[in-house]
Chain A
């Protein structure tokens, strides 16, 4: 089935010296979507973005934007908006001149430039900063101006390189939802690079996960979260504990597939104190709490179960658990993986008919 993609990469390779940054990259993006390129640092996500922008040239393969192969089209002719990691605002130009820059280059008439710059400033809610210089703005304001500058020439494709990396945690949270709303309001196809999975899951319509220059998985945040395809994704997504031999846990003894290792996420572990009512008395393990850590909204527990350390969570309102205490541990679901693929395995108690639910 040939989908109607707006941006498409076909078998793209790129090396820097002996380091292969992109290995046979192929994917397609539909018009109007907001895509997150997610991966650890050095996984090649920024290289993909820079090749799309024309700041790097692919060694082989095709890059197609709006039906045209753009391999030999220079960056300046691709009509792409780009937001740099540290914004790259022109230091010696005012905010107004920064936003007007691309329009002036395209020789817009003066009145239209003025109108467009004012429109962009209104859009990002920073009308009163027009005469300021970038170093007189806060981090969050710079981000918004960089966004306004990239969007001013009405690009069909917007690329953002780690757009939230340079602002502090509080502002980052605000900017995420702000950016999400802006992009859907403007309706521009957008791709952003991030190493932060929460960011990708929260902001993107679709996520492309990269690792060691390859694409591991493409899917909606929900798919990626619930159905990891590859061992890398199973371990990378979520705050997983890695288990060497998952069949030792009750409820997973007879699981199929040849895999032995598994990733266990805290949200799929339920911890009960002794004496607390058990949801699933069958297939419940016991473990000893080794560490408790206050995480603000929840308590993070490190529990030793059958010689394996698992990370689990309890709510603040739950009865407190102390170090050294023996607790009941029920694992709902694990992500088993071998060298090739990842598989979701549910606890047998959830699927077999003879389990007793109280």
Chain B
């Protein structure tokens, strides 16, 4: 009885602490973003978000995100498939390298690409001859986004595939099924929810990426500014209404993704039972 009362007190203390922490660290700033965005009324808000530069930045962010997610989905599937289904030398190395973007600062990721594809690089003459510009152009932004987000999908799939083992795939192979049939009918149903969850995380991270993209973009307004970069630009120019208005769009996108994430997590769990 006493034990229960005590743990009851501890429970409420912990709940209160978490609630206050979240309120101060997250909810208050979010409310502040919205208040500031609408501070001067609805009209300036609408003007700020329909500004051609703002629209261009939204478009670029969506483009980079979609490309990064598609590329990383394919890469993530292949990487986790080969890591979990085969034994080979250097497997540990690959599996560690996949985590690299999580540990390297995004600024450094950006600089790596500047060194690899920039003027100093031995690749530069060839790229120039082929008329491909990467640095300070959209391809650079896409590359940086891909780099920063590539662990997310494979990290979600690998544990699921490891837990599922190889038996079902072997059973299917013994019955004469080819690789594609095995993937479609046996493997994919296993990883469906994990994959979607990974895609959601990857999307969220790709939309918000600032550091690496900042290094590679060159900050050309209306050309290579993504939403986070554009927000920073407005903020540096003391256009608080504009900055927070565009921020609010990013926040809304993030919240949609958060809801999606919860739904997927719930469906995934239910599916496992």
Contact = CB atoms under 8 A, between A and B. Distances in A.
A77 B176 contact: yes
Interface residues of A, number: 25
A92 interface: yes
Interface string A54-90: 1100000000000000000001111111101010111
A132 B176 CA distance: 24
A92 B176 CA distance: 19
A67 B185 CA distance: 34
Interface stretch (B11-19, B75-83, B148-156, B164-172): B164-172
B1 interface: no
Interface in A176-229: none
Contact of A90 (B172, B173, B174, B178): B172
Contacts of B42: none
What's the dominant secondary structure at chain B's contact region? helix
A105 B168 contact: no
A153 B175 contact: yes
Which of B168, B175, B176 counts the most A-chain CB atoms under 10 A from its CB?
B175
A54 B177 CA distance: 14
A102 interface: yes
A254 interface: no
B181 interface: yes
Given A76-B176, A102-B176, A105-B181, A91 B168 contact: yes
Contacts of B167: 84, 86, 88
A106 interface: yes
Given A86-B167, A88-B168, A90-B168, A53 B189 contact: no
A328 to B, nearest CB: 54
Contacts of A90: 168, 171-172, 185-186
Nearest to B168: A88
Given A86-B167, A88-B167, A101 B189 contact: no
B174 A101 contact: no
30 contacts: A54-B174, A55-B173, A75-B170, A76-B174, A76-B176, A77-B176, A78-B174, A80-B174, A81-B174, A82-B170, A82-B171, A88-B168, A88-B170, A89-B168, A90-B185, A91-B189, A92-B190, A93-B185, A101-B172, A101-B175, A101-B185, A102-B176, A102-B177, A105-B172, A105-B175, A105-B177, A105-B178, A105-B181, A106-B176, A153-B175
Given A91-B189, A105-B177, A149-B171, 8 more contacts: A53-B174, A75-B173, A78-B174, A88-B167, A90-B168, A105-B172, A105-B175, A153-B176
